[in-house]
Amino acid sequence: MKFIVSSNQLLKQLQALGGVINNSNTLPILDNFLFELKSDRLTLTASDLETSMSSSITVESDSSGTIALPARLLLDTLKTFPEQPLTFMVLENNTVEISANNGKYALAYVPGDEFPKAVNLKDPSKTVIVADILATAINSTLFASGNDDLRPVMSGVFFQFSTESLTFVATDAHKLVKYTRSDLKADATAEFIMPRKALQILKVILQGSEEKISIEYNETNAQFIFGATSLSCRLIEGKYPNYEAVIPKENPNVMTISREPFLNSLRRVSIFSNKTTHQIRLKMAGAELNISAEDFDFSNKAEERLNCQYQGDDLQIGFNSRFIIEMLSNLTVEEVSLAMSLPNRAGIITPIDGTDEGENITMLVMPVMLNE
């Protein structure tokens, strides 16, 4: 088995796959990349049993074979090379020799047949979407997912596909984000919960790509296929909470405000809030928003006033500043609205401008009891 490959091209592919490999694996074989060569086509694979990712590149070769090479050692070596052709040659003593412009390097390999096989989806449903739209959907929701081991269903993103729209939802019970595309649809209704790790890998490699991505899914697994790359993962089992039930429908008190000044004020004022609760107070009256925070333990307090458009009754409401800051940071729009009903009901943040046609983002944040 012998092939010649561009060092930069190989490094780029392996770095994308490297996100799949865990720092500590139960099976030693999972610390390796799988190399499968069929004449001039080299397929590279990484897996942690739950998530598996493969991509193919063209190389110079007329041989075939399957080997597994140590991921960390290979990545560390490739990062040091300037762009050049590298020759990989399998030797008889279970080692692979890499020949570069001015050196040779030998590393031990493991037979490729020990590497776990990727799941083959039986009778999958299929939806096709532009890669960048999927990356935006993941980016808009993933930060709101939980990390409570006792509630695994809330640690991922809920994909809700219908013949009318595609919806993506994430919540940790304190905050919730619902991202909908009414300009896209699936052939049939389907619901599944995608795990965090697979989505983190996808959002990085899909960002800015206009390529079409095919999403195939059944009851237990999902597979994402784009170009010469595919990522498959096991879905999170369980029923997603009825998120629609917690979104208040009647919110007569609505504030419209410039996102960036609002976000900057929150960041400043929250520095003076209690380090445990991170509580900030929003007080709306007329065309003015008063943002304040106080840490009674240390007699620290801060207050800022901002102009806004406000319709509704005068209102004081408390929030955990970290949640609102996180939500506003994940938007790129000029103006947002915050709709509320009562001080003990959730606030709803929505962008006023800057969204695509058919794109809807709803962000819900639970209030906290104000210290009087």
Q: For residues 26-47, give the mean pLDDT.
A: 96
To the nearest whole percent, how much of the chain has pLDDT over 70? 100
* pLDDT at 354 (0 to 100): 84
Q: For residues 7-28, give the mean pLDDT.
A: 94
- 235 and 226 in contact (C-beta within 8 Å)? no
Q: For residues 210-218, give the mean pLDDT.
A: 95
Q: For residues 281-303, give the mean pLDDT.
A: 94
- Please check the confidence at residue 297 and state whether its pLDDT lies above 90: no
Beta carbons within 8 Å of 105's beta carbon, 6+ residues apart: 77, 97, 98
- Please check the confidence at residue 301 and state whether its pLDDT lies above 80: yes
Q: For residues 205-211, give the mean pLDDT.
A: 92
Q: For residues 99-111, give the mean pLDDT.
A: 94
Residue 7, SS3 per DSSP:
helix
* pLDDT at 26 (0 to 100): 86
* pLDDT at 148 (0 to 100): 86
Q: Where in the chain is the domain with CATH 3.10.150.10?
A: 2-114, 125-244, 248-368
CATH of domain 2-114: 3.10.150.10
150's tokens: 């006792």
Convert the pLDDT of each residue in 338-371 to its tens digit: 999 999 999 999 999 988 899 999 999 999 998 7
CATH of domain 125-244: 3.10.150.10
List own/partner pairs for 354-359 with CB under 8 A and 24 or more apart: 356/183, 357/183, 358/181, 358/182, 358/183, 358/184, 359/179, 359/180, 359/181, 359/183
Spatial distance between the Cα atoms of 145 and 174, rounded to a whole number of angstroms: 10
**Is 248-368 a domain of CATH 3.40.1260.10?**
no
Global confidence as pTM: 0.93
* pLDDT at 309 (0 to 100): 96
* pLDDT at 255 (0 to 100): 97
Convert the pLDDT of each residue in 55-71 to its tens digit: 999 999 999 999 999 99
Q: For residues 111-125, give the mean pLDDT.
A: 90
* pLDDT at 372 (0 to 100): 64
Average pLDDT, the chain: 95
277's tokens: 């609760």
